[in-house]
Amino acid sequence: MAQFRAIEDPYLKERGRDVEQVADRLLKALSGASQLGVGRNGGGEPLIYVAQDLQPADMLQLRGVLGFVFEQGGIHSHTAILARSLRVAAVTGVDDATGRIRDGDFLILDGDAGKVIVRPDEALLEQYRERQRQAAERERLLAQLADVDCVTQDGCRVTMLANIERPEEAEDAVRAGAEGIGLFRSEFLFLNRCQLPDEEEQYRAYRQVLETLQGRPVTIRTIDVGADKILPAQALIPGATSALGRRAIRYSLAEPEMFLVQLRALLRASVHGNLQILLPMLTQPHEVDEAMLLLAQARQELASRGEPVAEHIPVGGMIEVPAAALSAGIFASKLDFLAIGTNDLVQYTLAIDRTDQRIAHLYDELHPAVLRLIALTIRAARKASKPVCVCGEMAGEHRVAPLLLGMGLRSFSMLPSRLLRVKSEVLKVDTRQLTPLVRRMLVQDDLGSIRRGLACLGIEDASAMPSFSGAVNA
């Protein structure tokens, strides 16, 4: 593997990572070692999984694991996001974790602070147990907000939506009081399999989510592969797994037959609920035009089969690269709604690989350039009278909710586990007071001034967030 790591070309370097993971699986199979999916040790105790790295597809196989520790990756990688959706703690970028942590070590995994404590003493264990009890009490109190209308102190209605990766998570969204699904990452149906899901399998998954939401809007994003979301079964197009390559909508348009299968499944499912289709990582207006032509073709093919389809299905676009944000007005004129994907928007604006722990400290969603692009997109959508939502991880940060509200945002989509915490902050604020403060923040040129501005908005410290960390036997 050292030869791959020494290669400068990023595409070939990434292939080394793929080969390494395949080799590891093969060696485990040949040796009879335990495979992924085993979440308990020989004594039946739950485990913390410690590894160099793990693909999101592999994480979906694990059952009964209470936490993850990875040497690689950042807090905004898809692996970390998936861990949060599974409601387990994950700490990434831990130097030499596999060398310093031994089988049988007792660990405290603090997912909020990004800390791993090896072999803690009893006093520290009790301290964290008390924090767990406090977190459980906060969650109990927050649960009372599930059926409360989300309205600010000055009467502004704010829509609270949920992000999901798997159909079964739709029930969690409903329990949290979500008013709909703002982002269903459909690519997780495609991961960790030998064959791509056919039309019928996709149709059943989409139908399940739509029926669970019982008429609430469900926004399903078309397949977004690339970067750290690699399809083992995909017919590999050069550059398909690169963050700057033929990924997301580029991949779908390059593989129209695969894309048509998904579009037909989506259209068939549309009669079972309130479907919205979301196109990922748009950069060029013609990508919308090409996708709409394929959508029309899929509709025509279903009509020839006698399959019913909803008459009107809103189609939106992800704004997650600077080019799209700067052209938000053009995209708003072509689409029914916009969704701001802050995870990739930060990555592409700051030229930072969000999976690289060595530069994770440079990834900052409060960077002035990022905030201005978000504000620009919100203004463009409102000018065009089109709905706009933030569906990246930033939407689930309760500390920045007032900032987004002050920009004019009125729709948030986040992990179900974070929805009520953010909602509690939204209920407290008066947007009339926020707006002038946020305007002054957006003209600042340094992070320090912006952070001081956040303090003026009266946001609570991060330590108040519910924690899903715990002390378990590793």
Q: Which residue would you say has higher pLDDT here, 392 or 82?
A: 392
Q: Which residue would you say has higher pLDDT here, 79 or 335?
A: 335
Per-residue pLDDT tens over the stretch 301-350: 999 999 999 999 999 999 999 999 999 999 999 999 999 999 999 999 99
d(CA 445, CA 449): 8
Residue tagged active-site, from 76, 78, 367, 398:
78
The pLDDT value given to residue 193:
74
% of the chain at pLDDT higher than 90: 56
- Around Cβ 236, how many Cβ atoms within 10 Å? 13
- Delimit the domains of the chain by residue range: 2-139+469-473, 141-459
Same fold, 2-139+469-473 and 141-459: no
Average pLDDT for residues 200-216, to the nearest whole number?
A: 98
To the question of domain 2-139+469-473 being in CATH 3.50.30.10, the answer is yes
Known catalytic membership, residue 156: no
| Phi, psi values for residue 109, rounded to 5° | -110, 110
Q: Binning pLDDT at 50, 70 and 90, where does residue 27 land?
A: very low
CB of 338 closer than 8 Å to CB of 289: no
Per-residue pLDDT tens over the stretch 268-300: 999 999 999 999 999 999 999 999 999 999 999
Pairing of strands 217-221, 274-279: parallel
Known catalytic membership, residue 78: yes
Superfamily of domain 141-459: Phosphoenolpyruvate-binding domains (3.20.20.60)
Residue tagged active-site, from 150, 272, 391, 398:
391
pLDDT at residue 110 is higher than 60: yes
Average pLDDT for residues 19-39, to the nearest whole number?
A: 47
CB of 131 closer than 8 Å to CB of 467: yes
Torsion angle, alpha carbons of 170, 175, 180, 183, to 10: -50
